[in-house]
Amino acid sequence: MRAAAGLRHWLLQSGDGFLLPLVLLAFFWQLGAPALFDLDEGAFSAATWEMLQRHDFITTFLNGEPRFDKPILIYWLQALSVTAFGLHEWSLRLPSALAASAWVMATYYFAKPRMPRRNAILAAVMVATSAMIVLIGRAAIADALLDLLIALALFDIWRYWEQPTRMLLFRVFFWLGLGFLCKGPVAVAIPLVASAFLYVSNGQWKSWLQTVFSPFGLTVFLAVAAPWYILEYLAQGQAFIDGFFFKHNVSRFSDTMEGHGGQLWYYLVALPFMLLPFSGLLIPLFSSLLRKGKPPAATATELAAAQFSRFLWFWFLFVFVFFSLSSTQLPHYLLYGATPLLLLLAKHCGENPNRWLALVPAILIAGVLLFLPELLAYAVAQNPAPYFQGLLAQFQTITGAYYRPATAIYLLALLALLLWPKTPNHLRLIGAAILQTLFLSSILIPVAGYTQQAAVKDAARFANSNLSGSTIVMDGVNMPSFTVYREAITPRRAPAVGEYAFSKEGHLQPAENYIVVFKRGGLVLAKRVKAP
């Protein structure tokens, strides 16, 4: 009881300082502990390393080949961080951690004048500690930055709709320009459609058109975004148009890419896991959306609150429907619409959330994670390929001493929060969020990083120490973090006689044509000694 009162006093009386320890825990604690995850972190990091080697800050390359997957902004920021602090996991991830921290702050200051302070605090806590946001905020990829820029653009669109000023118009188009530099058309499409709904639903379509085609706003947008696109086109020509706009934007929606296909129901299943530990609150929120017979808003305050909720709902639902229809689906795509959903959860469910809905989802997942060693052993037994057996051995090496006790403590702490008497339910929920974030950053993410990536890092170190001057290629794997740790370009192709291959155990055939010099975690370095 005394602890709950202390937490309540700290949250309500500490001003905005409560956000600092929260973002430090969520995005900076143990930031550099796990090795870079392949494929995405490795690819962004390797392209940034190669940018610095080439001194080419217009076109990004990955292992010697142009990389048109994403625009330039995140590479610039990562290159700046690496230049300042050296080539480390945490320096490559630092721009994402800072972007995620700014995302938390921006959400809080947007929510603060539009809902009670307790609810605004909960909104910030939700953005800082939702499971998928914690993961994205710790990853050396473009998405945390993109999520921040989409949120900033739509926050200022709402503010501009409430009270138009030239500064707000400048900021909207500035965020859109940076978003276009970060990930391309999607950073403009989501704010454009959401703002269209806001204006058109209020009979202000002419005002929307005037704002969208504002000469001042378009000048700001082009001044921010156009120079790099022009320079990249001059450098790479039609290959850039085909690779970036057609392949990595149009084709991602119309065709399945990189094996990331999905179904219409994909995000219905993914959403509760992404929003842990807050997913239980989705039940009353969606129930309120479907509920009929609610009296219409009467006062000006009620009308404004209803309008605000409709705007948030449309923002989220547009993202949800659009990416549900896409042929390429990844969980983090839905984060483009997570901000409004978390604001809605905080606004409508934050006053006194149901205790069981607030705690049981996290408790159930913790219970499953307690038996993760057995679940992985069973999964590998169903597919006993050498690579997966190597991963299981890595997992057992890192988890043998502490994983189960740590997970059991986490589960018991959640149960104590559930059963502790006379504690406000919103404080139980915040406590669960802090515990989950501590478990993710201290236990689960480092375990996953060691299991999947430690052998990659060790193979690169072995190559640096023992194969200096040799040609090494990747055959049968796409793990660009090997390039980062080796600090040498590693093309993807079959090895010639006398060259070394970095590959999965069992892939290099016939085996007698190779001499294995390194083997760990299902991965090998092998020298080719015979032609086919």
pLDDT score, position 246 = 65
CA 129 from centroid of its chain's CA atoms: 12
DSSP string, 259-272: T----TTHHHHHHH
Mean pLDDT, rounded, for 139-155: 97
Share of the chain above pLDDT 70, in %: 92
Q: Could you tell me which residues are beta bridge partners of residue 523?
A: 504, 520
pLDDT-derived band at 251, boundaries 50, 70, 90: low
pLDDT score, position 249 = 61
Statement: residue 2 has pLDDT above 80: no
pLDDT-derived band at 1, boundaries 50, 70, 90: very low
pLDDT score, position 214 = 96
Q: What are the pLDDT digits (tens) for 273-293?
A: 999 999 999 998 888 777 655
**Residue boundaries of the structural domains of the chain:** 100-351, 459-528
pLDDT score, position 179 = 97
Mean pLDDT, rounded, for 263-274: 88
- State which of 142-146, 241-245, 264-268 shows the largest mean pLDDT: 142-146
pLDDT score, position 122 = 92
Q: What is the largest CA-CA distance in the chain?
A: 83
Statement: residue 6 has pLDDT above 60: no
Range name among 179-188, 345-354, 378-387 with the lowest pLDDT average: 345-354
CA angle 347, 350, 352 (to 5 degrees): 135
pLDDT score, position 15 = 47
Range name among 193-202, 213-222, 351-360 with the lowest pLDDT average: 351-360
Statement: residue 248 has pLDDT above 50: yes
Q: Could you tell me which residues are beta bridge partners of residue 66?
A: 61
Q: What are the pLDDT digits (tens) for 454-468?
A: 999 999 999 999 998
- Rounded Cα distance, 184 and 72, in Å: 10
Mean pLDDT, rounded, for 499-524: 94
Range name among 14-23, 39-48, 157-166, 226-235 with the lowest pLDDT average: 14-23
pTM recorded for the entire structure: 0.93
Q: What are the pLDDT digits (tens) for 399-432?
A: 877 899 999 999 999 999 999 888 888 889 999 9
Q: What are the pLDDT digits (tens) for 468-498?
A: 889 999 999 999 999 999 999 999 999 999 9
pLDDT score, position 189 = 95
Statement: residue 11 has pLDDT above 70: no
CA angle 240, 242, 246 (to 5 degrees): 120
Q: Which residue has the higher pLDDT, 479 or 246?
A: 479
**Burial class (CB within 10 angstroms; exposed 0-12, middle 13-18, buried 19+) of 382:** exposed
SS3 517: strand
Q: What are the pLDDT digits (tens) for 335-374?
A: 999 999 999 999 887 667 888 999 999 999 999 999 999 9
Statement: residue 305 has pLDDT above 70: yes
pLDDT-derived band at 35, boundaries 50, 70, 90: very high
Q: What are the pLDDT digits (tens) for 120-135?
A: 999 999 999 999 999 9
Side-chain half-sphere CA neighbours of 314 within 13 A: 19
Closest of 174, 149, 167, 171 to residue 74, by C-alpha: 149
